[in-house]
Structure 1
Amino acid sequence: MADTSTRRSGGRAARRAARAAPASEEARSIRPGMSGGFYKPLSDSQVKQIHEAALVALEEIGLADAPQSGIDYMVKAGAIYGEDGRVRFPRAVVEDALGKACRDITLHGRDPKYDLHLNGDRVHFGTAGAAVSMVDVLGKEYRDSTVQDLHDAARIVDRLDNVHFLQRPMVCRDIADNREMDYNTIYASCSGTTKHIGTSFTEPDFVADALEMLHMIAGGEDKWRARPFVSNSNCFVVPPMKFATEACEVMERCIEGGMPVLLLSAGMAGATAPSTVAGAIVQAVAECLAGLVYVNAVRPGHPAIFGTWPFGLDLRTGAMTGGSGEQALLTAGCAQMHSFYGLPGGAAAGMTDAKLPDMQAGWEQMCSNVLAGVAGLNMVYESVGMHASLLGFCHESLILGDDMLGHAQRVLRGIEVDDTTLALDQMREVCLGGPGHYLGTSETLARMESDYVYPALGDRTSPKEWVEVGKPNLVQKAIERKEEILSEPSAARLDPALDMALRERFNIHLG
């Protein structure tokens, strides 16, 4: 028998070399903004039932605790302010806001190649949250999160192909002054990535400093307004059915400053939202419709993401559970409601209740991320790195999550069926006098990058090869990748003259 080991080895080496060479964006099997929407947990009639229930809730229950400025805006738009202090919304007022709402939003990156186009069922995955702790995977401990941790997370996100945006994933607990924490969050994020950034503000008066910093980074207010590369994640409601007074005032300042807003309703099913999946979605939809009226009363057509973020609850303990099957259904159902309204929307997926990047984390993250993607969710927040039901963030999990999101997006892409992919010509060539296999054929080689996703850290070696290369551990590989990324200068670092000007104007804590 002829020795074919050399030929096989050479073929394998060639294939590995081909995979190591980065594919062009056009040739990649997956990319930001692929379309989902083919998973529909709700029937058409159920979607309409949820819509009708939300309208009834807005007409009969309304929302309390709006700031006076918000009351003025919404009443002028046709809402009714009652003696009980609640703002109620007639159906016609909601429908008018839906008619004015922005339906095609571009979330800009500082680098235009990272622009995110939110419309239809286009899907994007990214980070989010306000974790107060960092996961130490070696010590298996949690510690306070810092501004350096945030900057490092931004630098890592900048290098990950399948994480499309950075929404601030943790709080800078080493900065005691909230004003300084807010603008240092922007500085740490912008100096770490040129992808789109989302953040929040503690008080309305802190928005001005942030906008001044953003104008400096953009090169002027006009350039900022033309391409706002930071959006405001705004928890404008305190469920159930109450406005968050200060957050609403923050939102008004951000709208005036030309900053896109995420209308974020984060009720907890069984605690601050109804315990049923359908009821939690109804309340979230009602609250976000109220927010839509508010935004379009301030400035018609201002970019606002419909952020229904209902969370699950473990009814045995009262603890939040982000990694449950119920959470995956909540998120997918919300995506379907966004599609019903034709509005750019976002929700949370990819959270895990696991404390470390282990098997539990893997199955919980994949379940909700896949469902969110195939449901057509425009912005999948919290998709990587978030542990302990949003209390802890993990750099290593962020890196491992890039592989996981690659697989999720390959599922999202689905199966193409045409004359070429049916492959009858290949079958004839291979089976009728050909080699009897498809290895090495031109068609197979041509499809290596365009059809297949390869994990960067995931292990596909045989047991023998695994032993030969030292039995690599996934977490250790993630640590090494993190250290490699952070050992190199940030590609997003600010121009030295600009950086000096920012440090002269603001108290920058990042060394």
Structure 2
Amino acid sequence: MTDQSPLRTGGRAARRAARAAPLAQHLRPVRPGMSGGTYNPLSQADVERIHHAALQALEEIGLADAPPSGVAYLTGAGAIQGSDGRIRFPRALVEDTLAKANRSVTLCARDPRHDLDLSGSRVHYGTAGAAVHMVDVEGRNYRECGVQDLHDAARICDVLDNIHFVQRPMVCRDIPDNFEMDLNTIYAVCSGTTKHVGTSFTDPAYVSKAFEMLHMMAGGEDKWRERPFVSNSNCFVVPPMKFATESCMVMEAVIKGGMPVLLLSAGMAGATAPSTVAGAIVQAVAECLAGLVYVHAVKPGHPAIFGTWPFGLDLRSGAMTGGSGEQALLTAGCAQMHRFYDLPGGAAAGIADSKLPDMQAGWEQMCSNVMAGLSGLNMVYEAAGMHASLLGFCHESLILGDDLIGQALRCVRGIEVNDETLALDQMRQVCIGGPGHYLGTEATLSRMEVDHVYPRLGDRTSPKEWAEKDKPDLIAKAVARKQEILGQRAAARFDPNTDQKLRQAFNIHLPA
């Protein structure tokens, strides 16, 4: 990339050439890890009340169904198992864990350029979910998704600037064996992108084989442990306030193998979590605090992401409302709690209840993505491509989501106020003996690339220009962009020798 300063000197041709060249990463108008945190839906008093309510819930209610190994870890750390079998957490134990917890986690990628710094209010957007259907935008219908669809999604994400990580967004419905599905999920995503990858495991018995695969991809166990490029999305709780026994055993295994953990609490407000926004946040915070104690009991200091992930519910029908204003508030409130604890955190945003990438999807995805970013959420999961309240995934929507997230990130960046941006010198030059407008001035041209985000597919032409171009359709443009991306060889593919070894060791379902 070309390193340039915002103010360029030289002739007009040189300035045009500089503007046409790719911007250096630090000069791009939006980029991974920009700081949010300017939006606070909760007052300081609200935050502290939620914190104390969560501590009270852990101390008085506790969590049920910990596996025997978890009971041993937790009671060894200072938790108390009652006669009812529930594990309760003394306030001092939780506070001690918070005091020792990591304030910063780096999620590595196969390509170090894509490493994610999870600290403070740095914001990153990516995929996630477990969709069982693919959205066919041309036929306007849904079909079951497979391993090729997952691989293609990873390949698309790899070239989208505003998708910063790729957590598995769908399940491979064409692989009925869960063991093979878990391993093929890792292979399909890692061979499609060099960005950080997130995945899940359906059984703790599968984890050791997954590590064998990852060690081969990394070039050895030592290299894997030095730069673990896959994290485990772990639903360690079954809300309300119960441990998910097998997921906890998975968590113990991945911690020992050096894999970062997303502690994911996904209650449904009104069903498996309180119906109020505040109550759902309290329960999610309490459950994730319990998970944090668990992680530190297994291995102090292990990298963990505080994944308060409550979802909204339409209480008229019982349907999930991932695209609602309530969902946006749930996510923003959780992000504010992450900042209160100064912990790396993640939550869900960008989900559409709409079945297709239409106007409804646009307002639903933009609302929560902007609020999540403004609230300083480190990891915005499910930010692009998710439809039908997580039941469907859409490649074209993923591509359109890159444009959408670019605008959301511009909101996160905010307004810079300094001597240059206040523009008094420009005003003097333009208004006193100047042209009377700012179009084409040196100052305007020098900042047009570093200040403004331009959509790749979004249409900003006039109605006349739009008609002259045969009224281009947004979905058709996304389809063409998908075909363009998938028509190229995947840059993230493994070298032939490594790929051959992987295929000899594991039953890989993707064609070579």
Q: TM-score, length-normalised on structure 1?
A: 0.96
How far apart are residue 83 of structure 1 and its match? Answer: 1.2
CA 1:302–1:394: 2 relative to 1, 3 Å: same
| 1:420 matches 2:427 | no
CA 1:270–1:236: 2 relative to 1, 3 Å: same
- Distance in 1 between the 2:403 and 2:145 partners? 24
How far apart are residue 24 of structure 1 and its match? Answer: 2.0
Q: Which residue of 2 aligns with 1:334?
A: 334
| 1:212 matches 2:212 | yes
Structure 1, residues 170-197: CA drift from partner, whole Å, max 9, x if none? 0000001111100100100011000000
Matched position secondary structure for 1:268: coil
How far apart are residue 154 of structure 1 and its match? Answer: 0.3
- Distance in 2 between the 1:51 and 1:17 partners? 54
Matched position secondary structure for 2:25: coil
- Distance in 2 between the 1:19 and 1:265 partners? 45
**In the TM superposition, what are the counterparts of 1:262-411 in structure 2 within 5 Å?**
262-411=262-411
Structure 1, residues 11-33: CA drift from partner, whole Å, max 9, x if none? xx999987664322122111100
- Greater alpha carbon shift after TM alignment, 240-249 vs 431-440: 431-440
**In the TM superposition, what are the counterparts of 1:179-190 in structure 2 within 5 Å?**
179-190=179-190
How far apart are residue 475 of structure 1 and its match? Answer: 0.3
Amino acid at match of 1:252: E
Amino acid at match of 1:103: R
Matched position secondary structure for 1:76: helix
**In the TM superposition, what are the counterparts of 1:18-57 in structure 2 within 5 Å?**
21-57=21-57
Q: Which residue of 1 aligns with 2:478?
A: 478
Q: Which residue of 2 aligns with 1:254?
A: 254
CA 1:15–1:143: 2 relative to 1, 3 Å: farther
- Distance in 2 between the 1:405 and 1:147 partners? 26
Amino acid at match of 2:175: I
- Distance in 2 between the 1:79 and 1:313 partners? 33
Amino acid at match of 1:261: V
**In the TM superposition, what are the counterparts of 1:83-98 in structure 2 within 5 Å?**
83-98=83-98
**In the TM superposition, what are the counterparts of 1:100-179 in structure 2 within 5 Å?**
100-179=100-179
Q: Which residue of 2 aligns with 1:433?
A: 433
How far apart are residue 439 of structure 1 and its match? Answer: 1.2
Amino acid at match of 1:78: G
Structure 1, residues 438-482: CA drift from partner, whole Å, max 9, x if none? 111111111111100000000011111111111100000000000
- Distance in 2 between the 1:180 and 1:487 partners? 27
- Distance in 2 between the 1:17 and 1:158 partners? 27
- Distance in 1 between the 2:258 and 2:395 partners? 32
- Distance in 1 between the 2:97 and 2:443 partners? 51
Q: Which residue of 2 aligns with 1:4?
A: none
- Distance in 2 between the 1:472 and 1:299 partners? 55
- Greater alpha carbon shift after TM alignment, 19-28 vs 362-371: 19-28
How far apart are residue 306 of structure 1 and its match? Answer: 0.2
CA 1:154–1:489: 2 relative to 1, 3 Å: same
How far apart are residue 93 of structure 1 and its match? Answer: 0.8
Matched position secondary structure for 1:172: coil
- Distance in 1 between the 2:433 and 2:393 partners? 57
Amino acid at match of 2:80: I
- Structure 1: give runs of 5+ residues left out of the alignment: 1-12
- Greater alpha carbon shift after TM alignment, 429-438 vs 223-232: 429-438
Q: Which residue of 1 aligns with 2:10?
A: none
Matched position secondary structure for 2:135: strand
- Distance in 1 between the 2:301 and 2:327 partners? 31
Q: Which residue of 2 aligns with 1:10?
A: none
Structure 1, residues 21-69: CA drift from partner, whole Å, max 9, x if none? 4322122111100001110000000000000000010000000000000
- Greater alpha carbon shift after TM alignment, 276-285 vs 98-107: 98-107
- Distance in 1 between the 2:50 and 2:309 partners? 16
Matched position secondary structure for 2:251: helix
Amino acid at match of 1:136: D
- Distance in 1 between the 2:454 and 2:19 partners? 8
**In the TM superposition, what are the counterparts of 1:460-499 in structure 2 within 5 Å?**
460-499=460-499
- Distance in 2 between the 1:18 and 1:133 partners? 44
Matched position secondary structure for 1:420: helix
- Distance in 2 between the 1:308 and 1:27 partners? 33
Amino acid at match of 2:414: G
Matched position secondary structure for 1:400: helix
Matched position secondary structure for 2:363: helix
- Distance in 2 between the 1:61 and 1:229 partners? 37
- Distance in 2 between the 1:465 and 1:308 partners? 46
- Greater alpha carbon shift after TM alignment, 146-155 vs 459-468: 459-468
- Distance in 1 between the 2:118 and 2:65 partners? 31
- Distance in 2 between the 1:318 and 1:382 partners? 21
Amino acid at match of 1:358: D
- Structure 2: give runs of 5+ residues left out of the alignment: 1-12
Amino acid at match of 1:141: N
Structure 1, residues 221-267: CA drift from partner, whole Å, max 9, x if none? 00000000000000000000000000000000000000000000000
Q: TM-score, length-normalised on structure 2?
A: 0.96
- Distance in 1 between the 2:102 and 2:213 partners? 26
Matched position secondary structure for 1:105: strand
- Distance in 2 between the 1:219 and 1:100 partners? 32
Q: Which residue of 2 aligns with 1:445?
A: 445
Q: Which residue of 2 aligns with 1:241?
A: 241
- Distance in 2 between the 1:510 and 1:424 partners? 59
Amino acid at match of 1:75: T
How far apart are residue 100 of structure 1 and its match? Answer: 2.1
Amino acid at match of 2:395: H
CA 1:193–1:106: 2 relative to 1, 3 Å: same
Displacement over 6 Å in runs of 4+:
13-19
Amino acid at match of 1:223: K
Structure 1, residues 116-150: CA drift from partner, whole Å, max 9, x if none? 00000000000000000000001111000100000
Amino acid at match of 2:268: M
- Distance in 2 between the 1:460 and 1:370 partners? 21
